[in-house]
Amino acid sequence: MDVIPVIDLKGGTVVHARMGQRDLYRPIETPLARGSDPVDVARGLMSVYPFTTLYVADLDAIGGHGDNRTALAQVKQALPQVTLWVDSGIAEMAAAADWLAQDLGHLVLGSETQSDTDLIHRFAADPRVVLSLDFRGDDFQGPPALLANPTWWPARVIAMTLDRVGSHAGPDLDRLRAIGASGRKIYAAGGVRDADDLRALAKAGIAGALVASSLHNGRLTGSDLQEIA
């Protein structure tokens, strides 16, 4: 089980994500850091466990209101041993190629920002690209043809249930099992509460999980992660 911590960036700071209501996100308050500075929060997460990957959502870029590339570069410089998975709302060929050329990390292509399947199809074979299949409730956020054709997906796929992010509701195991039938490496995102949830995901054949709240509130500890690893 590959556990990947998450930070959400907005206005150059880390914010507390809850149930996908991005307009309501506020700077994070966590015992792992003195404030909401991205480098401090990232280092705080690494103090829990020596993670090798960090997922970053650039909420400004996703929303079309600037970006947080300066903060991303600072995190990358501070934690050179960590691979960044970054969703910055990219939906165009040239923008994806430009982003990959900057070598900031692996590019996460979110389905919610895609108007068609062309970009996913074009970059599916690139090992630096991860697909995020985004859901709100029962509704898929993205082109229906993308969800219906797993053969177009890259090797790694995040199943992102936005309304479970920060909700402590538990992962959506039924949806994850269905997506897992594609044969891709599936990463659960949204609702993971503790080590028991991670064990349930592993039992269901899920390759990994994106986590945030359970690390900040202490319900998922370094000892838990060591045991699961």
Please name the residues in contact with 20: beta carbons below 8 A apart, sequence gap of 6 or more: 136, 162, 163, 165
Confidence of residue 24 (pLDDT cuts 50, 70, 90): low
Report the pLDDT averaged over residues 90-119: 95
Report the pLDDT averaged over residues 12-28: 74
pLDDT digits (tens, 9 = 90+) for 106-123: 999 999 999 999 999 999
Output the pTM of the full model. Answer: 0.94
Report the pLDDT averaged over residues 25-30: 85
pLDDT digits (tens, 9 = 90+) for 120-168: 999 999 999 999 999 988 899 999 999 999 999 999 999 998 877 765 6
Distant-in-sequence contacts of 15-19, Cβ < 8 A, 24+ apart = 15/59, 16/166, 17/57, 17/165, 17/166, 17/212, 18/165, 18/166, 18/167, 19/162, 19/163, 19/164, 19/165, 19/166, 19/167
Q: What is the per-residue pLDDT for 193?
A: 92
Domains of the chain: 2-228 (3.20.20.70)
Q: What is the per-residue pLDDT for 51?
A: 98
Please name the residues in contact with 46: beta carbons below 8 A apart, sequence gap of 6 or more: 79, 82
